[in-house]
């Protein structure tokens, strides 16, 4: 197990290093410096500005400085809003985005699993049919379309929920629905198909022969094994939810990290783009690492394999 974790850890560090380097190279490849658009600053001012941001050093020095700043978790100032640093933006926006993300994941996982189990237990029945049509629709409708429809119907026409911003639990309902529907649909489909497979196994027949109730069979015996594939795709789902927050926060005017990110892209605020991308990537890669570890712990076959034949 320790070797497995160590290998994953190394992999994670390499991946983060690649994304950091990629970000640096791409930002240096952008034509022009951040200071020579619109306002014409005079030469001394420009030189001073460049010295201030270390832009006059050779690339290799800049790269090392950049690596150092990443390791010390200091992403530097925002160029467009000089009074703020990228850390300020992250500190302000990330908790909100994190809250949105966590609630979304919880909603998506719970409702997806329940929907999948119901569909599997009533295989080829009405519930199965309805749940799966719902799931395919959920996968097909882009979250930004769903978000706009929800605002139009539930918020504007019927006035059930507030249409925008982020201040009370009621404000969370629409963004979370818009963001959770896609992942929920994916989880529901996956749970259904693995559940159907697991339900044909001998140990389920055994449990049935012992006279256990269907619900006990599902929750005590089948669910644990049916959920393994769900754990494996958690990484992909997390990535989807994270990028989904960009549009959702834009549509619902939620002051989270995603909105700052989109704004920084539109304003070409490179330090913010770099900082946010690196932060998001590192966060996501770390989550993938945790998912991998969880998978290693949950699936006994991996441990047996390791004990038996090693790598």
Task: At 133, list the tokens.
Answer: 């049509």
CA separation for the pair 167, 176 (Å, rounded): 14
Give the residue from 31, 19, 15, 44 showing the smallest Cα distance to 270: 31
State in angstroms the smallest separation of the CB of 53 from another protein: 18
Q: Which is nearer to another protein, 138 or 207 (CB)?
A: 138
64, 136, 206, 297: which one contacts another protein (CB under 8 A)?
136
Q: Which is nearer to another protein, 217 or 279 (CB)?
A: 279
Q: Which is nearer to another protein, 18 or 297 (CB)?
A: 18
Per the CB < 8 A criterion, the answer to whether 289 and 14 are in contact is no
Interface with another protein in residues 268-297 (CB under 8 A): 268, 273, 277, 280-281, 284-285, 288
24 binds another protein (CB under 8 A): no
State in angstroms the smallest separation of the CB of 245 from another protein: 11
CA separation for the pair 272, 85 (Å, rounded): 8
141 binds another protein (CB under 8 A): yes
Taking CA atoms, 179 is separated from 34, 161, 248, in Å, by 34, 16, 7
266, 307, 309, 311: which one contacts another protein (CB under 8 A)?
266
User: What is the 3-class SS of 205-254, one letter each residue?
Assistant: HHHHHCCCCHHHHHHHHHHHHHCHHHHHHHHHHHHHHHHHHHHHHHHCCC
144, 161, 212, 223: which one contacts another protein (CB under 8 A)?
144
Per the CB < 8 A criterion, the answer to whether 84 and 77 are in contact is yes
**Helix, strand or coil, per DSSP, at residue 1:** coil
State in angstroms the smallest separation of the CB of 286 from another protein: 11
150 binds another protein (CB under 8 A): no
CA separation for the pair 52, 193 (Å, rounded): 58
Per the CB < 8 A criterion, the answer to whether 80 and 266 are in contact is no
Q: Whose structure tokens read 């160029």?
A: 79
Q: Which is nearer to another protein, 64 or 145 (CB)?
A: 145
State in angstroms the smallest separation of the CB of 114 from another protein: 22
Among the listed ranges 24-32, 57-65, 89-97, 115-123, the one in contact with another protein (CB under 8 A) is: 24-32
CB-CB neighbours of 85 under 10 Å: 18
139 binds another protein (CB under 8 A): yes
179 binds another protein (CB under 8 A): no
For another protein, the binding residues (CB under 8 A) are: 11-12, 14-15, 18-19, 22-23, 26-27, 29-30, 136-137, 139-142, 144-145, 148-149, 151-152, 156, 239, 242-243, 246-247, 250-251, 262, 265-266, 268, 273, 277, 280-281, 284-285, 288
């Amino acid at each position: 197990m320790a070797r497995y974790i160590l290998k994953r850890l190394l992999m994670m560090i390499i991946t983060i290093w690649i994304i950091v380097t990629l970000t640096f190279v791409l930002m240096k490849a952008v034509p022009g410096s951040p200071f020579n658009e619109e306002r014409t600053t005079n030469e001394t001012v420009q030189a001073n500005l460049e010295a201030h941001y270390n832009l006059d050093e050779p690339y290799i020095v800049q790269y090392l400085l950049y690596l150092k700043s990443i390791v010390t978790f200091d992403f530097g100032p925002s160029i467009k809003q000089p009074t703020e640093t990228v850390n300020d933006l992250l500190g302000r926006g990330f908790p909100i985005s994190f809250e949105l993300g966590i609630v979304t994941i919880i909603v998506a996982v719970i409702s997806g699993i329940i929907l999948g189990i119901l569909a599997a237990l009533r295989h080829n029945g009405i519930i199965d049919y309805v749940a799966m049509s719902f799931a395919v629709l959920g996968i097909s409708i882009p979250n930004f379309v769903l978000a706009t429809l929800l605002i139009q119907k539930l918020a504007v026409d019927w006035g059930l929920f507030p249409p925008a911003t982020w201040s009370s639990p009621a404000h969370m309902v629409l963004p979370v629905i818009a963001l959770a529907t896609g992942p929920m649909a994916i989880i529901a489909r996956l749970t259904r198909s693995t559940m159907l497979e697991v339900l044909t196994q001998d140990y389920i027949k055994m449990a049935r022969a012992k006279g256990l109730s269907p619900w006990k069979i599902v929750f005590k015996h089948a669910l644990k094994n049916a959920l393994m594939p769900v754990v494996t795709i958690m990484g992909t789902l997390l990535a989807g939810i994270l990028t989904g927050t960009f549009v959702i926060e834009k549509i619902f005017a939620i002051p989270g990290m995603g909105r700052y990110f989109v704004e920084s892209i539109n304003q070409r605020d490179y330090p913010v783009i770099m900082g946010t991308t690196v932060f998001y990537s590192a966060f996501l890669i770390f989550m993938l690492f945790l998912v991998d570890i969880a998978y290693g712990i949950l699936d006994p076959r991996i441990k047996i394999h390791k004990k038996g034949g090693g790598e």
